[in-house]
Amino acid sequence: MHFLSIVEIGRRYRSGTLTPRDYVEHLIARVKRLDGKLNAFLHLDERAARADADKAGAELAKGHDRGAFHGIPVGIKDIVAIAGDVTTAHSRVHDPKPETRDAAAVAALRDAGAFPFGKLALHEHALGGPAFDLPAPSARNPWDLSRMPGGSSSGSGAALAAGLMPAAIGTDTGGSIRGPAGFCGIVGLKPTYERVSRQGVLPLAWSLDHIGPMTRDVRDNALMLNAMTNGAEDFAREIGRPIAGMRVAYAKAWHMRDVPCEPAVAEAMDAAAERLRSLGAEVVEIDPGEFAAYGSTNWTILAAEAFAVHEKVMRERPEDYGARARELFAAGAFVSAADYIRAQRARTTLKAKLDAILDTHDALLCAGAGLQPCAIDDPAAIARLLGSSLRGAFNLSGHPAMALPAGFDAQGLPLHVQLATATNSEAKLYRLAAAFEAADTDKRHPAEFA
């Protein structure tokens, strides 16, 4: 039951073979049994989850059907507000008072009949990385508990891959949805900038922050985006349409030339290009320019804006942050106004490059990172892994970008690819991703959580 798709859960609700309360009880039991080794949860309000499940079940029984997400429990990254809960950001630095209202995305999910299912672990204030000096332990990768699950939406990726919930909210400032999605073998979308409201979400860097859906398959992801945007449009409407004739730009140079790359990643990327060709897409190699320009520009803006958010506390009580977050936030103090302005000007140029590519191609294919997830307690390896990330370009540009599974390496760790499309073209992205997913014959779950 714990690895059912949201679509299948909905079918069972409506046929009467499963109730939201029974489903939630099953998940609560799994969390109690398994999360002690995964550390995906910071807090689970069992009473609220049961009450929300009972409410959804009663509504469905009376024929009051709110749609695909009615009765679906959704994990919430703990920088996203839930009314009545404290938002901790996985840190000692937080407001101890309970939130008075839901974040806009949580409110939208409630309107669709979904409900929160726990607060999930993250890198401290969405930046710090895995750390061992925080109030709660860091989430681990369910495919290998000695490895990091990616971040900063670490608990969201880990919990989904381990079958502790069917959907979760993540945030993404430099790849924080797509990193854990890729490393945990699930689907994560960073939507177009401001597609989903950030009201009620603790900021990291205002001009780069995105909020988006994390699920185990592409259709579920599109349905979650529908719910998170109050049904603004049907993002699943193109799923199932053929992709023959679609033009895909392949930024192979990014992982082969610009960042450290493992052979398994390079092989997976070429195999992904061939899979798209076998489905009728035209895949052509292009060069968007050296990735270092995108990465350094993203970091300069992120560091400056993040320090602006945290400056007061950093000056008054820096020791309350974990060592890694403190070091990273402090870096922003050394970004000058001139540096920040130059970075914003460079951002305009780099966005124009990606716009030009996506004006003449339906999508851009690239790796999410050149390296596979490393040991969670190896700072040098973590630094190398972060240095191989290829995700920040799309935070700069605001284009929708998705991480989705692309097989497994020799160690049994998930491989993934990244797809991006033009601004406000998520429906097209889901169409392409769903076709890619449907051609994947290697479906498995982490052995320790199966």
Which sequence positions are flagged as catalytic? 77, 152, 176
Classified as helix, coil or strand, 213 is strand
Longest dimension (CA), the chain: 62
Residues 6+ apart with CB under 8 A from 58: none
Question: Residue 340: enclosing H or E segment and its boundaries?
Answer: helix 337-360
Sign of CA dihedral 153, 158, 164, 167: positive
Helix spans in 16-153 (H): 20-38, 46-61, 104-111
Please tell me the distance from the alpha carbon of residue 176 to that of residue 185, in angstroms, as a whole number.
Answer: 14
* Residue 193 token pair: 């900038």
The full DSSP string for 124-144 is GGGTS-S-SSSSSPPP-BTTB
Please tell me the distance from the alpha carbon of residue 238 to that of residue 48, in angstroms, as a whole number.
Answer: 36
Please tell me the distance from the alpha carbon of residue 38 to that of residue 109, in angstroms, as a whole number.
Answer: 26
Residue type, 423: T
Residue 323: burial class (beta carbons within 10 Å; 0-12, 13-18, 19+): middle
Packing angle between helix 218-228 and helix 6-15, nearest 10 degrees? 80
Q: Count of residues for the chain?
A: 450
Q: Say if CB 194 and CB 223 are below 8 A apart.
A: no
Please tell me the distance from the alpha carbon of residue 211 to that of residue 191, in angstroms, as a whole number.
Answer: 7
User: How far is CA 432 from each of CA 54, 95, 225, 389, 411, rounded to the nearest angstrom?
Assistant: 37, 42, 16, 23, 28
Q: What is the dihedral of CA 47, 53, 58, 60, to 10 degrees?
A: 170
Residues 6+ apart with CB under 8 A from 178: 172, 188, 190, 368, 391, 401, 402, 403, 418
Please tell me the distance from the alpha carbon of residue 289 to that of residue 80, in angstroms, as a whole number.
Answer: 35
